[in-house]
């Protein structure tokens, strides 16, 4: 999910590392699933400041992501 969040923002691992203060190696390890929880929490907070919200699973759906900076509707883009 954290790699998807990065891609939604249109950033490379190196760009996230520079922007967040987390080392590129740690970003790689987080996305691979082998980093400590403190690093993961720091990255989640970083993405949260940029409008990414992680959604916990419910009884009918799995984990998800919402981008708060995306507005409007697809209907607004349809030609008449």
d(CA 35, CA 57): 22
| Per-residue pLDDT, 72 | 57
> In this predicted model, what pLDDT tens digit does every residue of 16-56 receive, in sequence order?
999 999 999 999 999 999 999 999 999 999 999 999 999 99
Burial class (CB in 10 A: 0-12, 13-18, 19+), 43: buried
CB 29 within 8 A of CB 37: no
What pLDDT, on a 0 to 100 scale, did the predictor assign at position 68? 85
* 0.85 exceeded by pTM: no
CA angle 74, 58, 6 (to 5 degrees): 55
């Amino acid at each position: 999910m954290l790699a998807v969040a990065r891609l939604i923002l249109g950033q490379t691992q190196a760009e996230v590392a520079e922007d967040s203060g987390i080392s590129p190696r740690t970003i790689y390890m987080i996305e691979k699933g082998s980093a400590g929880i403190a690093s993961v929490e720091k990255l989640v907070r970083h993405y949260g400041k940029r409008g990414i919200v992680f959604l916990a699973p419910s009884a009918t759906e799995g984990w998800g992501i919402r981008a708060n900076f995306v507005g409007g509707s697809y209907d607004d883009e349809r030609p008449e």
